[in-house]
């Protein structure tokens, strides 16, 4: 009985790996076509005309922060120099237990003011609103801890502009990133959300929103993540964008139509994957209302984020992401194979269930059962080795594809030498890293009940300003 199960599972794993890899390869090809088209379209791009114009949408940049004393003040200072005609910066301290609050007050000389509250969305208690006339577009809100979603809702309540940017406190924007995303709202009134390309900042020096140089980060875990981000953003996001079926706009950097988010009820405070949940809810709400809309991804708008530099932190992060994914998919389970949800319900959501969510469990189980069946002699050694080789080769193919897509964007961040160095990591990540990540994701699913509703902070290094 057990033997039959293991043999059956082995066959299932092989077929699953082949199907998954074929899907990823299709995504890679679609993304390649989209990037080539976008590179041509960029010639006609005219977004920079709006730099000095009053006609660009003003934006409210919301920065929810929890225990961010190391980076927050410096990041806010850099954002105050942003090249954007009209914006406000709203920093929301979500009851940090470290020196974040004091650091903000001291760095910017903020003082408490009485602010006429607008209770559009319910949030936990606001302890104080701080301001300094020297920084007229900076507003700092100190509130009781309620989670990232709650902090974002508070930010929405205080914001005054029609678009808001959700930005992680540990992320840095390229100076024209918001401009490029806001231009999407100008070009097409159907756009309700636009998201940018989140790149790993480890090893890069960024000065006043301009990338300066790149040196290979010191740890292997950081190098692997650089490859992984290329694959995820440039292959996954771009291909889903092509069919207007993006299910996630990274919480690190996205621009939202405030009215639509408010109509949807704001961010759900009981959800851990707020970035995916809000997008799923927007899809559902607008499709039910039969409103035409677009959720777009632009690889040209870049945000730099710090990736975890230790395996311990990576484990925490990936667990959290998987819990967020599971949480969002469970909340919106009615979208699965729902024809009223169009492509999103028939393609993107099933894909997320099958390959993103359950894939983690299947992969992790495969890592245990396939070697086990080899050890107890259910599969022959050369079949086992052959399967490992095929799985590794498919993985390498996809990772190299991600790297090729990055080079196709012609950003010039990596030199040819660095690119070839990273390609080595595209090869190595299949021997340990991928398995580790799969196990972390599976752990997240198994510990769903105990780990949800936490900020799960990851230690960050100071930015290389």
Partner 1 sequence: MGIWLAYVLVLICIFIVSIEYLYLYALSSRTEARISEYNGTCVRIGEMIDTIVNAPTESSLRQALVFLKRYVGVDRTRMDILSGLLLKRLITENEEGNQNGLRALSAACDMVNPSAFYSSLLKTGDLYDKAYACRKISGFSRRQEISVIREFSHSKNRDLSYNAAMALSELGDESGLIDAIRDCQHNYEYSHRIIIELIQKYTGDMETLAKKVLCGISDDYIKTAVIKAVAKYRFQSLADIFTGLLTGTNVNLRAAALTALGALGDPAFQNDMITACTDPDWIIRLTAVKALKNIRTPESMQALSDAAQDAEWWVRNTAAKILVGMDTDLVYVERVLRNEDRRAADSILFALYQVCDMSR
Cα(215)–Cα(250) distance, integer angstroms: 25
Nearest to partner 1 of 15, 97 (CB atom): 15
DSSP classification of residue 170: T
| Helix, strand, coil shares, percent, the chain, to 5 | 55, 15, 30
**Cα torsion 88, 83, 303, 234: sign:** positive
Q: Which stretch binds partner 1 (CB under 8 A): 44-52, 148-156, 442-450, 451-459?
A: 44-52
Under the criterion CB under 8 A, does residue 419 sit at the interface with partner 1? yes
CB of 387 to partner 1, least distance (A): 8
The beta strands (E) that lie in 208-279 are given as 210-214, 253-257
Q: Note the residue count of the chain.
A: 465
DSSP classification of residue 308: P
Backbone angles phi, psi at 142, to 5 degrees: -110, 125
Q: How many residues bind partner 1 (CB under 8 A)?
A: 53
Query: Which residue in the set 261, 286, 400, 445 belongs to the binding site for partner 1 (CB under 8 A)?
Result: 400
Q: Which stretch binds partner 1 (CB under 8 A): 67-75, 225-233, 340-348, 410-418?
A: 410-418
Is the distance from CB of 269 to CB of 150 less than 8 angstroms? yes
The beta strands (E) that lie in 80-234 are given as 87-94, 111-113, 126-131, 138-143, 163-167, 171-173, 191-200, 204-207, 210-214
Under the criterion CB under 8 A, does residue 453 sit at the interface with partner 1? no
CB of 116 to partner 1, least distance (A): 4
DSSP classification of residue 340: G
Cα(13)–Cα(88) distance, integer angstroms: 51
* 210 C-beta neighbours (distance < 10 Å), count: 11
Under the criterion CB under 8 A, does residue 15 sit at the interface with partner 1? no
Binding to partner 1 by CB under 8 A, coded x per residue (else -) over 186-225, reads: xxxxx-----------------------------------
CB of 171 to partner 1, least distance (A): 25
Query: Which residue in the set 5, 19, 22, 49 belongs to the binding site for partner 1 (CB under 8 A)?
Result: 49
Picking from 225, 285, 273, 272, the residue whose alpha carbon sits closest to that of residue 248 is 273
Query: Which residue in the set 1, 2, 4, 53 belongs to the binding site for partner 1 (CB under 8 A)?
Result: 53
CB of 56 to partner 1, least distance (A): 7
Q: Which stretch binds partner 1 (CB under 8 A): 172-180, 257-265, 382-390, 429-437?
A: 382-390
CB of 162 to partner 1, least distance (A): 11
Q: To the nearest 10°, the Cα dihedral for 311, 312, 315, 316?
A: -140
The three-class DSSP label of residue 302 is strand
Q: Which stretch binds partner 1 (CB under 8 A): 163-171, 351-359, 379-387, 433-441?
A: 379-387
Nearest to partner 1 of 360, 370 (CB atom): 370
Q: Which stretch binds partner 1 (CB under 8 A): 111-119, 235-243, 246-254, 312-320?
A: 111-119
Under the criterion CB under 8 A, does residue 446 sit at the interface with partner 1? no
Picking from 244, 57, 29, 62, the residue whose alpha carbon sits closest to that of residue 153 is 62
Under the criterion CB under 8 A, does residue 2 sit at the interface with partner 1? no
CB of 394 to partner 1, least distance (A): 6
Q: Is 422 exposed, middle or buried (0-12, 13-18, 19+ CB in 10 A)?
A: buried
According to CB under 8 A, which residues from 129 to 188 bind partner 1?
131-134, 136, 185-188
Cα(264)–Cα(275) distance, integer angstroms: 14
Please give the residue ranges that form the binding site for partner 1 (CB under 8 A): 40-41, 43-46, 49-50, 53, 55-57, 109, 111, 113-116, 118, 131-134, 136, 185-190, 383, 386-387, 389-390, 393-394, 396-397, 400-401, 403-404, 407-408, 410, 412, 414-416, 419-420, 423
């Amino acid at each position: 009985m057990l033997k039959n199960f293991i043999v059956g599972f082995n066959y299932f794993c092989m077929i699953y790996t082949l199907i998954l890899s074929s899907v990823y390869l299709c995504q890679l090809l679609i993304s390649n076509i989209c990037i080539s088209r976008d590179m041509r379209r960029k010639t006609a791009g005219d977004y920079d005309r709006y730099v000095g114009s009053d006609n660009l949408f003003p934006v409210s940049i919301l920065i929810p922060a929890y225990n961010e004393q190391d980076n927050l003040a410096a990041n806010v200072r850099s954002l105050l120099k942003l090249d954007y005609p009209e914006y406000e910066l709203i920093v929301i301290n979500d009851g940090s237990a470290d020196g974040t609050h004091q650091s903000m007050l001291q760095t910017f000389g903020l003082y408490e003011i009485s602010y006429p509250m607008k209770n559009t969305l319910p949030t936990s208690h606001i302890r104080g609103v701080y301001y300094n006339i020297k920084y007229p577009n900076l507003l700092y809100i100190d509130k009781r801890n309620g989670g990232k979603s709650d902090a974002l809702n508070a930010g929405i309540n205080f914001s005054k502009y029609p678009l808001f940017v959700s930005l992680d406190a540990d992320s840095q924007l390229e100076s024209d990133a918001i401009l490029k995303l806001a231009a999407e709202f100008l070009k097409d009134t159907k756009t309700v959300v636009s998201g940018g390309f989140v790149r790993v900042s480890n090893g890069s020096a960024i000065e006043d929103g301009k990338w300066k140089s790149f040196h290979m980060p010191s740890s292997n875990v950081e190098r692997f993540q650089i490859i992984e981000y290329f694959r995820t953003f440039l292959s996954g996001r771009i291909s889903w964008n092509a069919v207007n079926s993006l299910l996630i706009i990274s919480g690190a950097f996205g621009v939202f139509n405030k009215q639509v988010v408010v109509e949807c009820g704001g961010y759900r405070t009981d959800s851990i994957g707020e970035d995916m949940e809000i997008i799923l809810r927007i899809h559902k709400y607008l499709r039910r209302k039969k409103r035409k809309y677009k959720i777009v991804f632009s690889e040209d708008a870049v945000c730099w984020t710090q990736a975890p530099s230790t395996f311990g932190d990576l484990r925490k992060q990936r667990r959290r992401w998987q819990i967020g994914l599971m949480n969002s998919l469970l909340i919106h389970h009615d979208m699965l194979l729902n024809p009223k949800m169009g492509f999103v319900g028939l393609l993107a959501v099933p894909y997320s269930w099958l390959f993103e969510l359950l894939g983690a469990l299947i992969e992790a189980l495969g890592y245990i059962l396939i070697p086990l069946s080899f050890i107890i002699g259910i599969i022959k050694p050369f079949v086992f080795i052959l399967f490992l080789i095929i799985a590794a080769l498919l993985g390498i193919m996809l990772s190299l594809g991600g790297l090729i897509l990055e080079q196709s964007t012609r950003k010039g961040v990596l030199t040819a030498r660095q690119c070839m160095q990273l390609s080595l990591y595209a090869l190595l990540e299949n021997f340990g890293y991928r398995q580790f990540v799969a196990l972390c994701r599976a752990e997240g699913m198994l510990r769903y009940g105990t780990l949800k509703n936490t900020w799960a902070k990851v230690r960050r290094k100071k930015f290389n300003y």
